Structure 1
Amino acid sequence: MLDTPVLISGGGPVGLTASLLLSQHGVRSLLVERHPGTAVTPKARGINARTMEIFRQYGIDAAIRDAGLAEGGTGLIVWVETLAGKEIERRVPGRTTAKNLAVTPVKNCLCAQDDLEPVIRRFAESAGPGTLRFNTEMTSFSQRPDAVTGLLTDRTTGAETPFTARYLIAAEGAQSRVRRALSVKMIGEEEVYDSVNILFHADLTQWVEHRPAALYFVEQPDLRGTFLTINGRDRWGFLIHSPKQYGWRPQDFTPEFCTELIRKAAGVQDLAVSVLRVNPWQASAIVADRYRVGNVFLAGDAAHEMPPTGGFGLNTGVQDVHNLTWKIAAVLQGQADESLLDSYHAERQPFGQIVTQNSLTNAMSMGRAARQSNVLPRREFLNEQGLIFGACYQSTAVVPDDTPPAAVDDPVTEYVPSARPGSRAPHVWLRRGSEQISTIDLFGSHFVLLAGRDGDAWCQAAREIGASRPSLVAYAIGHDESLIDADGNWHSAYGVDTDGVVLVRPDGYVAWRSRTSASNPLDALRTALDGLLGRMPAMA
């Protein structure tokens, strides 16, 4: 019998990130993946800045950038009749404006999934105590109140191994067997349009090097598709939009037919093309009505399927497990009540619905489900700063302070940094010795207490709380030379006075805030922690 605290079913970016994060929290896990290795096709490509913040906090962002396309290789979005012919329009995505770049210490990254997964796998395998088993599938499972039990099957030998796990994270993708076995209801619209992805080799340099872009939309009366940049030179994807509208069936996409379409879209009839792989698929916009069922948690595409327009699928999944793993660790380590785990659904499921609906709206604005030509997307497309950074959680894992949310005209495109409880803790540059760091760099594997320069009493309270709470690190910004607010922005960004304090969760979201000091900082901090961790006062 194999016994593990956490079993992760699925070894894509979401499952691999879950393994890495659990190890960083000191939790043993086992990841099983039915395929013999990591992805062999690009699949998702865009990693937004919020996800890159997570990867930065765990020390893998540089390796991911090295594996991806060099910075500056995708500064535009371009619409053309053909790559070699008339250009219709080009745009600079709103995510890359100076105003939007200023809210984070990182930039987004284009790294194809078959380049990304080996990087996360390498770090997950070296992190420990988590382990990974490829070519292994969870073939059955059942639940009892205190565990998940079932069988793991080696896909080469057929050997079966019984297992027991306290918790199961299902990160198996859109065809998740776990989700189906649990009879979870999916909310939304299924199979809203069809597409075909073609992976190919061709040298397109002369038609793209003067206008480097992540996406080149081709608009013709009898062909609508998108060239997807992978390495920016000779490795590309070509996405056919709604082929059924042209009477094309999946079986029609032979290498010869695909080559003909690529040449037509490029406007180069003698282009040398090598078709590597063809993948027909259906886009859906559906979200699970439950992210937690007993001891099982759905994450990534197992919890939400969304059109790729906006590039939110992979990012939302990674952020799911970023939210979940610290909570599982706190419960397993006896520092939180199991009720804390209910906040995973409360926080991530509503956000999943919002992101999925906006991805669908993006797609519909571009005519994905209707035979239209020269359809430019709505202005929100690739300008979704509010969706990337503006999630504001309401759950038992957040202690509200009765302040109103930041006022914005459009919550999709606009983001106003705020340390209101439930919000992402804002990025502020600080100085530590000769080094410039971001507040974002302080978060990761523990709770962080950020006090004003006159908040030493808060830091003393944090030290006194001791080991009965999750790991808690405290800083008084500007109190000594350890962290200096050189630009004088921290107090206004975090909305506290010089004797106030903010408590930030391991996932970088504000859990609690006190604008000023308290008569008894120790009691105030202890009460806040006990409340958000679901601990009874008697446990204090």
Structure 2
Amino acid sequence: MAVANAEVEVLIVGGGPVGLTARALLERWGVGVLLVEKHAELSPFPRSRLVNVRSMEIYRQLGLADRIAAKAFAPEYGRVRFRDTLHDRDFATAAMAGVNAPVPESPVIGVVTSQDRLEPTLLAAADTEVRFGVELVDLAEGAESVVAVLADHHRGEQTRVRARYVLAADGASSTVRPLLGIETEGPGALGGFTTVVFDADLSRWCAYQPAGVYFTPHGSFAPLYPEGGWAWFGATPEHTTDADWPDVVARALGPGADVAAEVLRVQRWVMNAFVAERFLHGRILLAGDAAHALPIIGGLGMNTGLADVHNLCWKLAGVLRGWAEPGLLETYERERHPVAHRTLRQAVASTKLMVHVLTRRRAQLATGESKSSETELPWAEWYFAQLGLVLGVTYHSPAVLTGNSTPPELSDGDTDYVPIAEPGHRMPHFWLTPDRSTLDAFGEWFTLLTPDPTHWTQHTDARWPLRIEPLPKEHADLCGITPQGALLIRPDGHIGARWQDRPSADGTLRHALASITCSAPS
């Protein structure tokens, strides 16, 4: 029998990277959180492998970037390689932009690291309560709260938790999404796959040509940790009940490899491709794979989920602390839903291109063409970890004040990134000092960047968390403002408003903050 025994401001369902990052972000805002994860521990599988440059900017804001990078691979692993077998030479290769080397558009660099290395760092990043082995089994929404029924598998009992809001980050096979009757849009399941984690010495073929992943027609190989360990993943064989997984890996390595693989773990999974019809249902919000499941090619899935909660958590904090109205939460869906659809289209297109490359290679070999010949990739060098898609996201909602203009939108397939200091865009990175970026000025507050801080300080309002940051005059032109103008940056680093010159009305800043937070102006 369930017993009402707990109240919390936000209940997070799901203990993967998205849920754990939301927990760390909300704790920074002082929000009371309970996170529940149905599994008994953090995932022992490598799963996601790429933390892209935008996600590392989020972790820099949380003070975690250095810790994550310390456990990750060196930048030269930020590359993909295509081979007929792992022990053949490359027939094609491509860099992961923003991972294989620093880029001038960001103060950080993305990293190749396995999810089971990332999650312990995220778990240690906050002190709010986490309950493993606890599954959400039912929800009841009220006008002021949500009552969640939780099943504790270890203790064999159920409890009720009353939360002001519920954040569902419980994966593509979400429990919460069907409970709410939310359907999905998109191709759906793309097929069954298996990941085999194994130990073997493959250094003779890979040590001098490192990569985050090696694609072959017989499945893909990925180094797991800097000190060793490998994973093979590919389409699940027809008969898996009594599959000889060391033999599967040996055959994937190809004839002549002569390597004994010690299989440690095997995981079967489904590659999904969909977006939930809605991200918001009353006081319940979906994020990460629960909101959008993306094919793994391009490393967009987890990173898109991290951007979800970075967008959402400051809005939740504002509503819970009273400096924003509940209507602000509606902008989460309005801003992130189009991003999810565009990212899904890109991930599906990436998958088709990958299949095309391998299919064309098989045809090339079938015609007797020399193995030494190279295959030209049907995309640019910066195709993987697309900067345009991860740094060029533009938001359109009442939480962005654009005046009479409409922020330019990225078109599908646009992988390039051009910094733009206009409302709706991520604030471009400029160095304020030799080691301090504009992005370092943002946190649990709104930031006003201006070359004229003295004037603007006179027009602040204590209703909203706000800091005024001097913007060096040499950056003013790049931001499209005069020495008297200003940029108002939201806590997620996106520009909420821009004044090219000093406004004539004294209440302009207050009215902008009220509009962005859906509050009544003072």
Report the TM-score when normalising by structure 2.
0.92
Residues 1:401 and 2:407 are matched in the alignment:
no
TM-superposed CA distance for 1:45, in Å, is 1.0
2:365 corresponding residue in structure 1? none
**In structure 1, how many angstroms separate the alpha carbons of the residues matched to 2:243 and 2:454?**
67
Matches within 5 A, 1:336-355: 336-355=324-343
Matches within 5 A, 1:389-538: 389-403=391-405, 405=407, 412-431=414-433, 436-452=435-451, 454-462=452-460, 465-466=461-462, 468-469=463-464, 471-478=465-472, 488=474, 490-521=475-506, 523-537=507-521
1:195 corresponding residue in structure 2? 193
SS of 2:303's equivalent in the other structure is helix
SS of 1:401's equivalent in the other structure is coil
**In structure 2, how many angstroms separate the alpha carbons of the residues matched to 1:461 and 1:257?**
71
Pick one of 132, 135, 139 that aligns with 2:133.
Answer: 135
Deviations 1:213-256 (A, max 9, x none): 1111113xxx3x1111212563111121x456xxx344364324
1:239 corresponding residue in structure 2? 233
Q: 1:142 to 1:336 in 2, by over 3 A?
A: same
**In structure 2, how many angstroms separate the alpha carbons of the residues matched to 1:233 and 1:206?**
15
Amino acid at match of 1:379: W
TM-superposed CA distance for 1:404, in Å, is 5.4
Are the counterparts in 2 of residues 194 and 280 from structure 1 also a CA contact under 8 Å? Answer: yes
Are the counterparts in 2 of residues 204 and 233 from structure 1 also a CA contact under 8 Å? Answer: no
Deviations 1:470-521 (A, max 9, x none): x10012324xxxxxx6xx2x21332111100000011111011110001234
**In structure 1, how many angstroms separate the alpha carbons of the residues matched to 2:295 and 2:315?**
29
Pick one of 211, 224, 229 that aligns with 2:223.
Answer: 229
SS of 1:393's equivalent in the other structure is coil
**In structure 1, how many angstroms separate the alpha carbons of the residues matched to 2:282 and 2:377?**
41
Amino acid at match of 1:351: V
Matches within 5 A, 1:153-192: 153-192=151-190
Residues 1:35 and 2:35 are matched in the alignment:
no
Amino acid at match of 2:306: V
**In structure 2, how many angstroms separate the alpha carbons of the residues matched to 1:34 and 1:408?**
38
Are the counterparts in 2 of residues 19 and 124 from structure 1 also a CA contact under 8 Å? Answer: yes
**In structure 1, how many angstroms separate the alpha carbons of the residues matched to 2:413 and 2:420?**
14
Gaps of 5+ in 1: 479-484
**In structure 1, how many angstroms separate the alpha carbons of the residues matched to 2:405 and 2:278?**
29
Matches within 5 A, 1:284-299: 284-299=272-287
**In structure 1, how many angstroms separate the alpha carbons of the residues matched to 2:162 and 2:411?**
49
Amino acid at match of 2:288: G
SS of 1:395's equivalent in the other structure is coil
Residues 1:318 and 2:318 are matched in the alignment:
no
Amino acid at match of 1:261: R
**In structure 1, how many angstroms separate the alpha carbons of the residues matched to 2:189 and 2:427?**
37
Deviates more, 1:179-188 or 1:86-95: 86-95
Matches within 5 A, 1:109-124: 109-124=111-126
TM-superposed CA distance for 1:121, in Å, is 0.2
Residues 1:15 and 2:25 are matched in the alignment:
no
**In structure 2, how many angstroms separate the alpha carbons of the residues matched to 1:97 and 1:269?**
28
TM-superposed CA distance for 1:93, in Å, is 3.1
Are the counterparts in 1 of residues 246 and 261 from structure 2 also a CA contact under 8 Å? Answer: no
Q: 1:5 to 1:408 in 2, by over 3 A?
A: closer
**In structure 2, how many angstroms separate the alpha carbons of the residues matched to 1:426 and 1:42?**
32
Deviations 1:420-460 (A, max 9, x none): 111101100012xxx520001111211101112x3421122
Are the counterparts in 2 of residues 385 and 412 from structure 1 also a CA contact under 8 Å? Answer: no
Q: 1:536 to 1:124 in 2, by over 3 A?
A: same
SS of 1:315's equivalent in the other structure is helix
Q: 1:122 to 1:383 in 2, by over 3 A?
A: closer
TM-superposed CA distance for 1:377, in Å, is 5.6
**In structure 2, how many angstroms separate the alpha carbons of the residues matched to 1:166 and 1:76?**
44
**In structure 2, how many angstroms separate the alpha carbons of the residues matched to 1:344 and 1:59?**
24
Q: 1:411 to 1:2 in 2, by over 3 A?
A: same
Amino acid at match of 2:431: W
Question: Matched residues, percent identical?
Answer: 34
Gaps of 5+ in 2: 363-374
Amino acid at match of 2:119: E
Residues 1:26 and 2:26 are matched in the alignment:
no
TM-superposed CA distance for 1:406, in Å, is 5.4
SS of 1:367's equivalent in the other structure is helix
Residues 1:85 and 2:88 are matched in the alignment:
yes
Amino acid at match of 1:395: S
TM-superposed CA distance for 1:75, in Å, is 3.9
SS of 2:63's equivalent in the other structure is coil
Residues 1:258 and 2:248 are matched in the alignment:
yes
Residues 1:62 and 2:66 are matched in the alignment:
yes
Amino acid at match of 2:94: R
Deviates more, 1:164-173 or 1:74-83: 74-83
Are the counterparts in 2 of residues 258 and 275 from structure 1 also a CA contact under 8 Å? Answer: no
Amino acid at match of 1:427: H
Are the counterparts in 2 of residues 343 and 395 from structure 1 also a CA contact under 8 Å? Answer: yes
Report the TM-score when normalising by structure 1.
0.89
**In structure 2, how many angstroms separate the alpha carbons of the residues matched to 1:199 and 1:178?**
30
SS of 2:504's equivalent in the other structure is coil
Q: 1:348 to 1:253 in 2, by over 3 A?
A: farther
2:368 corresponding residue in structure 1? none
Q: 1:377 to 1:37 in 2, by over 3 A?
A: farther
SS of 1:461's equivalent in the other structure is coil
SS of 2:343's equivalent in the other structure is helix
Deviates more, 1:76-85 or 1:2-11: 76-85
